Structure 1
């Protein structure tokens, strides 16, 4: 109670204690840290501690065991259809299919059917599994993304390319024609080769020409010999007629 009264009296009289704590502002920093010398920087970089990398866990080194899924009845059926398509057709072309409307695809299918050429769609998984152990395994790198097959029982490369040029959304990747794998440029070169009928006609005409030339060469010598003999006979007969006239 006395302490409280003393504080009240000091406040009324304006009395202050003799010791007071005064806070002064800090001085401005005038010394800055100097940059490290270049040689020392190199030395510090060389002697810097490098912590060892953590060991790679075993699960990242050993590949995971992938269990082969059992084939369903639908997969077996599609594989049989694919094997039938590959065995019955001489021309098998692989195309990359970009976004295409249903109407454009239907029109393309109709134009190809005019030349007895068919469009076939198979998933890349089925194609890889079926072609990996067949003679068409070199075609596997072509089946990436959205692809389709253009097949025909006869070699009609020229007709196929003529129809496909009208559809810029589909690009040729390669083909297998009569058990021969061709690139895009090879297919274009194959389309410029004349048909078998034209080749047969040219062969027959060349053989006929050679036969006629052979006959003329064979008959030339006897005819020439016959002409010489006839000329000789005429000369001898003329001399025989002149001799009796001179004797008379």
Structure 2
């Protein structure tokens, strides 16, 4: 019995010593671990030429043109979805406004409150211009399969903000009003259904004034060149005509003097 008690005491003492040793080891390890900050190895950027070589050698995988229903037999193409009747009516209204306006301005709209939207629309309406907000479906119905189809590239966000102006006389007013509302950013403009111009080109167009006046100046300039060309071509014939007339008058005078004598 005493032997068993001695063995139990030895086991208990050994276990307590091991706990003490493990505790010391853990305490020492924690001090070493948090003594300094962890230093990560920084990635060294390659040289510019090496970057170019890596970019050239990067593989380009072709896109798969196989439809999803052929890749997986359980998939079926979605049924065609008909357009909403209200979208069709708004698309017809958009097409009518597009035909009647000579200037079409496209805006990119950021986060905008409803009250600010209404104020912006009212300011343009007081100047005789219409600001409309359409979605992508309305723009698709109105512009698809028409000469204005490239404008669909600007109908990415929602809403598709379009300004219709009946003439080119109030371009300065457009810039003045749009500066008050930085949420609406003017991107480009379509002039007289023919040419898409940038924001800088629209500012230069505003400095020129009325387009009818510019057309009159251009026609006058073309007429001046035509008149100069006609005068240059008929210069020798007109001089010859004048010389012949003057010579004929001199001969008539000489004949009259000879008869009087």
TM-score of the aligned structures, taking structure 2 as reference length: 0.54
Alignment counterpart, residue 240 of structure 2, candidates 205, 221, 231 = 221
Confirm or deny: 8 A CA contact 1:94 1:148 kept in the other structure: yes
Alignment counterpart, residue 164 of structure 1, candidates 138, 163, 175 = 175
RMSD: 4.3
Confirm or deny: 8 A CA contact 1:111 1:163 kept in the other structure: no
Alignment counterpart, residue 187 of structure 2, candidates 142, 149, 173 = 173
> Who is 2:212 aligned against?
196
Post-superposition CA distance 1:171-219 (Å, at most 9, x none) = 2222333332413144445445562334325534763686587399454
> Who is 2:38 aligned against?
none
Structure 1: 5+ residue stretches without partners: 1-15, 31-57
Structure 2: 5+ residue stretches without partners: 26-67
Alignment counterpart, residue 108 of structure 1, candidates 123, 129, 138 = 123
Residue 226 (structure 1) shift: 3.8
Q: Give 3-state SS (helix, strand or coil) of 1:144's partner.
A: coil
Alignment counterpart, residue 151 of structure 1, candidates 137, 143, 164 = 164
Relative contact order, CA 8 A, sep 6+: which one is greater? Answer: 1
Hey, what's the Cα distance between the residues in 2 that align with 1:103 and 1:76? Answer: 23
**1:70 aligns to 2:43 (yes or no):** no
Bigger helix share: 2
Confirm or deny: 8 A CA contact 2:178 2:186 kept in the other structure: no
Residue 142 (structure 1) shift: 0.9
> Who is 2:135 aligned against?
123
Q: Give 3-state SS (helix, strand or coil) of 2:127's partner.
A: helix
Compare 79-88 and 158-167 and name the one that shifted more.
158-167
Q: Give 3-state SS (helix, strand or coil) of 1:127's partner.
A: helix
Hey, what's the Cα distance between the residues in 1 that align with 2:102 and 2:118? Answer: 28
Alignment counterpart, residue 141 of structure 1, candidates 153, 156, 161 = 153
Post-superposition CA distance 1:155-178 (Å, at most 9, x none) = x1x522443234222322223333
Alignment counterpart, residue 183 of structure 1, candidates 197, 207, 214 = 197
TM-score of the aligned structures, taking structure 1 as reference length: 0.56
Post-superposition CA distance 1:208-245 (Å, at most 9, x none) = 686587399454433344445666788x79xx8xxx9x
Q: Give 3-state SS (helix, strand or coil) of 1:71's partner.
A: coil
